[in-house]
Amino acid sequence: MRLIGTFVLLAGSMAWAGEIATLASGTYLRVDRHEAVDGGKIRLYSGGGYVEVAAAEITGIEPDGEVSTAPAVAPEPAIAPVAPMVPMASPKKLADQAADKYGLPRELVRSVMAAESGFQPQAVSPRGAIGLMQLMPTTAHDLGVDPQDPVQNVDAGARYLRDLLVRYNGALWHALAAYNAGPEAVDKYNGIPPYLETMRYVNRIDKDLKKQTNHSNSEAR
């Protein structure tokens, strides 16, 4: 049967448009043709040679329709339909929606967003504040939101600002200072803490609010 082993290797590396002989062992051979010979054997031809196998070792011979030598190609996996992308609302629209939800002036939330992130959804500060209204990871966790999601980020920022205004009885500068430096710093100094960054932050938003208010008043005339 050493010849059969060699024949199997040859048959396995080529493609045939002839016949397939199946052996009792389960092995199959692709051959050009076959014929019965004396001694109860079957002669299997391949190329310019042949091999003789006892007829009892062959369980069947049938036409081989394979003619291509190209490797089988696995079917492509089914692709699940992709939900259409919903464009994110503009940063200013997100600010207005959050302001309306929490009863804040739209100009205030817009001014805070401008000062915090410059209306950039992917903004990240050197201290690790994330997104449009620059939520710190710990603050976002406490508020139960994903700071990477612009909608959740802005909503939580407006909610936090509203809570600070309530905490400081509507004192805007106290609330803004707490948004920037933390309520602990405002409580410690009983007002805007003497931090240059925080003082500039409060002053910038105050100026922007006045500018927006004057613009709105001029348009209303």
- Please spell the DSSP secondary structure of 113-134, one letter per residue: HHHHHTT-TT-B-TT--BTTTT
Each residue of 156-193: b (16+ CB within 10 Å) or e? bbbbbbbebbeebeeebbbbbbbbbbebebbeeeeebb
Query: Which amino acid, residue 5?
Result: G
pLDDT digit of tens for each residue in the chain (221 aa)?
A: 434 443 433 333 344 458 888 877 676 677 888 888 888 888 888 766 777 878 888 888 888 764 444 444 555 555 555 545 446 689 999 999 999 999 999 999 999 999 999 999 999 999 999 999 999 999 999 999 999 999 999 999 999 999 999 999 999 999 999 999 999 999 999 999 999 999 999 999 999 999 887 777 767 66
Q: What's the CA gap between 37 and 53, in Å, rounded?
A: 10
For residue 37, give the CATH number of its domain: 2.30.30
- Give a yes or no: residue 69 inside a domain: no
For residue 206, give the CATH number of its domain: 1.10.530.10
Torsion angle of alpha carbons 178, 183, 188, 189, nearest 10°? 10
Which pLDDT score, from 0 to 100, does residue 14 have? 40
Which pLDDT score, from 0 to 100, does residue 65 have? 63
Token pair, residue 30, equals 């692709």
Structural domain of 10: 2-63
Boundary-marking domain end, from 48, 63, 78: 63
Same domain? For 52 and 109 the reply is no
Q: What's the CA gap between 124 and 147, in Å, rounded?
A: 11
- Give a yes or no: residue 72 inside a domain: no
- Give a yes or no: residue 103 inside a domain: yes
Same domain? For 107 and 188 the reply is yes
Same domain? For 53 and 117 the reply is no
- Give a yes or no: residue 71 inside a domain: no
Same domain? For 59 and 96 the reply is no
- Give a yes or no: residue 31 inside a domain: yes
Same domain? For 97 and 196 the reply is yes
Token pair, residue 83, equals 């939900």
Q: What's the CA gap between 97 and 35, in Å, rounded?
A: 86
Instruction: Name the residues annotated as catalytic.
Output: 116
The 3-state DSSP class for residue 163 equals: helix
DSSP summary character for residue 190: T
The 3-state DSSP class for residue 84 equals: coil
Token pair, residue 203, equals 């002053």
DSSP summary character for residue 192: S
The rounded radius of gyration (Å) of the Cα atoms in the chain is 40
- Give a yes or no: residue 41 inside a domain: yes
- Give a yes or no: residue 38 inside a domain: yes
Same domain? For 58 and 144 the reply is no
- Give a yes or no: residue 70 inside a domain: no
